[in-house]
Amino acid sequence: MSELDDSVVLRRTSELSFDAEVSDAWGIGGIPNGGYLSYFGATALRQVLPHPDPLTVTTRYARPSKPGPATIECEVIKIGRTQSAGVAKLLQDGKECFRVTATYGDLDAMRGPTVIAAEVPPMPPVDTVPPRFGAPPGSSFGARVDLRFAPGSVPFLDGGVGPMELGGYIRLIDDHPVDPFALLLFADAWPPPSLNGVEQRVWVPTIELTVHVRRRPAPGWIRGWFRTRFLIQGRLDEDGELWDADDQLVALSRQYALLST
Amino acid sequence: MSELDDSVVLRRTSELSFDAEVSDAWGIGGIPNGGYLSYFGATALRQVLPHPDPLTVTTRYARPSKPGPATIECEVIKIGRTQSAGVAKLLQDGKECFRVTATYGDLDAMRGPTVIAAEVPPMPPVDTVPPRFGAPPGSSFGARVDLRFAPGSVPFLDGGVGPMELGGYIRLIDDHPVDPFALLLFADAWPPPSLNGVEQRVWVPTIELTVHVRRRPAPGWIRGWFRTRFLIQGRLDEDGELWDADDQLVALSRQYALLST
C-alpha cells in the first residue's frame, strides 16, 4: 500500500454508501487539497461502477472539507456496455462538501482515429531541475509530492509577477505508480498560475474542476503545464495538460476558481 | 416571447420537480441539440436557485433525448450568500437523459482584479461573411440560428480536410436577446471542429459539456472559436470561446465527446 492508498479510508455500509475518513496527509494550510478530494470521490465511485477507468470527472466543491470522519453517498446514472456514469457526494456534519460526477470506461478498449494538434510542453531534463514546493511551509501535501518547476515559471514564489502559466515535473515521493486515478490528484497539485498575475497574496479556492483522462500513463515522471487566460473580476479559468514519460498527453483539466484575499 | 423561450415548456409540480416538454424545434437529424438541452436544464434550475446567472454549468448526457414529454427533478446542493449550486435531471420514460450540475451567482456583483492573457479571434466583419449552416439539411436547429463561418474554417463541408478548428459569428434568427443562458446554447451550436480532421462522415455525440459564463454579453453578434487539440482513439476534447460585440470574452466551453461512425 502507498501513502495515497492509505489516505483513502472507505468502509462500505450499503450498496451505494460508505463511511469514510478524510486524511490530514494531503493538506495545504490545513485544508485537504482539491485534487486529493477528487481522487477520494473517484475511488469510491470506482467501487460502484463496473468500468475501471475515470474518463471525465467533474468535482464541484460546495464547502471546505476537513480531516476526519465523513460519509459518501453514491448514485448510479447509467451502466452501459462501454461506459457508465455516476455521482459520489462526500458529506461531513450532514452537509455536502463536494461531489464527483463522472463517466467511467476502459482506456484500453478505445478504438478510432488519432489526430494530435498540440506539442509536448518544452522543458529541460528533470535531473537538471531542483525540487521546490510552491505551497506554504508546513503543508502536509508538500511532503508527499515531488514537484520540479520549469525554470522561470513561478515568479510569484519570489515576490515577482509574470505570465499566468507555470509547469514542471511531478511524481509522488513514495513512488506510488501513476495510474489514471493519480492523474486526478496531479491535475490539482500545482500552485495556481493566476498567482503569477497579481501582486497580492491570495487564496484561490476551486469551485469546479473537470479532468478528462485520455490515456493510461506510462511509468515515470508526469509533466504538467497550467495556464489562466482570463482572470475577470476575481474569477478565473485554469487549463492544465498532463503528459507522460512517453511524450503522450494523458489528461486535460479545466477549473473555475476565484481569487480570495 | 421568443422561439427559444417558447421551446422550454416547464410546469412546476413540486418544489423541486417539473413536467416538461422537449421541443422538436432545435433538432439536428431529429435529435435535440445538446446546447438546447443544456439551456433547458439550466432554465429549470434557475427557478430553484436564488441567484440569477449560471456561472459554471456541467451537462452530462447519458442517453439521447427526444422531442416530447419529460420530467425534471432538481436537487439543491448549496445556497450561499454569493452563489448557489444544484442539479437538474431530465428524465424520459423513467430514465435519465441528461443532468445539469451548476453553480449560479450574479455576474453584476463580481469584484476583483482583471488580467487577460488572450486575444479576440481575428475575423472579417460579419456583413462580409455569407450565412451557411453546417448541419445536415432539414435540421430544425438550422432554421433558428444564423451562423456565419470564418472563411476557410469549415473545409469538411466541402469534403476537405484541415485544422481541427473553426469559428465565426452566431445569433438567433428571431433576435432573442443574447443573455447568459443563451450562451449555453451558443456553446454547442457549431459543427464539431474534429470533422475537419477526419475524412469519414461521422457523428460526434457529446458525453460531457462544461460552460463557464464569465460576463453578461453585450447586445449583438457573438463570435465563437472552437478547437479540438487531441483526438485520441476516437475520443476528443473540444474547447470553445465566445466573445461579444464589445470584444469581451463572455464564455468558455469544453466538452468530451466521441467519434461515432
Instruction: State percent of chain A over pLDDT 90.
Output: 85
pLDDT in tens, B20-29: 999 999 998 8
A97 pLDDT more than 80: yes
Q: Taking residues B217-226, what's their average pLDDT?
A: 97
Partner-chain contact A212 B256, CB within 8 Å:
yes
Q: Taking residues A130-154, what's their average pLDDT?
A: 83
The reply to whether A113 falls in a domain is: no
What range does the domain containing B52 cover? Answer: 3-106+126-258
Please name the residues between 202 and 261 in chain A that touch chain B, using a CB distance below 8 Å: 207-208, 210, 212, 214-215, 227-235, 237, 239, 249, 252, 254, 256, 258-259
Kindly list the residues from chain B whose CB atom is less than 8 angstroms away from the CB atom of residue A121: none
DSSP per residue over A68-110, as a string?
EEEEEEEEEEEE-SS-EEEEEEEEETTEEEEEEEEEEE-GGG-
The reply to whether B119 falls in a domain is: no
d(CA B150, CA A36): 42
The reply to whether A121 falls in a domain is: no
Partner-chain contact A116 B56, CB within 8 Å:
no
| Burial degree of A25 (CB within 10 A; 0-12, 13-18, 19+) | middle
The reply to whether A120 falls in a domain is: no
**For testing the chain B interface, which of A56, A73, A247 should be mutated: the one with the most B CBs within 10 Å?**
A56
The reply to whether A244 falls in a domain is: yes
Partner-chain contact A112 B234, CB within 8 Å:
yes
Measured between CB atoms, does A119 come within 8 Å of chain B? no
The reply to whether B114 falls in a domain is: no
Residue A186 is which amino acid? F
d(CA A134, CA A157): 7
Counted across chains A and B, CB pairs separated by less than 8 A come out at: 167
pLDDT in tens, B49-94: 999 999 999 999 999 999 999 999 999 999 999 999 999 999 999 9
Please name the residues between 6 and 45 in chain B that touch chain A, using a CB distance below 8 Å: none
Partner-chain contact A227 B117, CB within 8 Å:
yes
Tally of domains within chain A: 1
> What is the predicted ipTM?
0.96
A139 pLDDT more than 90: no
The reply to whether B222 falls in a domain is: yes
pLDDT in tens, B201-221: 789 999 999 999 999 999 999
Kindly list the residues from chain A whose CB atom is less than 8 angstroms away from the CB atom of residue B99: 77, 101
CATH number at residue B225: 2.40.160.210
Residue A250 is which amino acid? V
| Burial degree of A41 (CB within 10 A; 0-12, 13-18, 19+) | buried
User: B133 falls in which pLDDT band (50, 70, 90)?
Assistant: low
Give whole-number Cα distances, B241 to A155, A210, B66, B169, in Å: 28, 17, 28, 12
The reply to whether A30 falls in a domain is: yes
